[in-house]
Amino acid sequence: MRLEVESRPLKDIAVIVPELYQDDRGFFMETYRADQFRELGLPIDFVQDNHSRSVKGVLRGLHFQWDPPMGKLMRVPFGSAFLVAVDLRKDSPTLGRWAGVECSAENRRQVWAPAGFARGFCVLSDAAEIQYKCTGMYNGKAESGILWNDPAIGINWPVTDPILSEKDTRARTLADWLASPESNFFVSHSAAGSGTGFGLAV
């Protein structure tokens, strides 16, 4: 069964849709295959799987980790959610730009966002479950967050009054992050794209 890259927003993000086999008994799909990920230029060395459940209106993010660097492959096996990634890499031509993708159990979309991106989501259905495959193991001493509504980024969230954790309400701005020494952990040598404030909703 094939895994298709539907789009590549900000060049380094990938929206992936697995092929589905379905009949009157139900369905089957392969959500990850190392051989096909390698062919598509995507990572294959995932070391941790996470699974969360949230109710409608919950917004989690924007989270990231710099040591070890953590990329995430995110999918929504139950419900629907708006998944967002923001480029934090200081030398990237897409620094501060964001991509947002509605993912659901029905559309089967998965979003790969490499290390150097902050990630978050808000729940659109009554409840939603999010699964992540991570390229780094969690380290609470080297993780942080960017404020969900930082005007310097300008994410067009489909919710105006989200349910937030106390930690997320106190997250730093993009400017604060870029002024910190830890921001030097994230670099990119991509030559594609330019500008700020970009959003992709698909």
pLDDT at 20: 87
CA distance 169 to 28: 39
Region 68-97: mean pLDDT is: 96
Q: What is the pTM of this model?
A: 0.89
Region 51-65: mean pLDDT is: 97
Amino acid 78 reads: F
Catalytic residue among 21, 32, 51, 132: 132
SS3 content of the chain, % helix, strand, coil (to 5): 10, 40, 45
CA distance 5 to 15: 6
pLDDT at 76: 97
- Does the pLDDT at position 197 exceed 80? no
pLDDT at 158: 96
Catalytic residue among 21, 63, 138, 189: 63
Active site residue 63: yes
Q: Say if residues 36 and 3 touch (Cβ distance below 8 Å).
A: yes
pLDDT at 187: 79
Q: 19-39, pLDDT tens digit by residue?
A: 889 889 988 989 999 999 999
Residue in the block written with tokens 């992050």:
177
- Does the pLDDT at position 186 exceed 50? yes
DSSP 116: T
CA distance 79 to 15: 18
Distance of CA 9 to the CA centre of its chain: 11
Active site residue 132: yes
**Residue 102, both tokens:** 């509605």
* 104 band by pLDDT with thresholds 50, 70 and 90: very high
Q: Say if residues 112 and 22 touch (Cβ distance below 8 Å).
A: no
* 1 band by pLDDT with thresholds 50, 70 and 90: confident
3-class secondary-structure state, position 193: coil
pLDDT at 189: 52
CA distance 87 to 136: 18
Q: Say if residues 60 and 167 touch (Cβ distance below 8 Å).
A: no
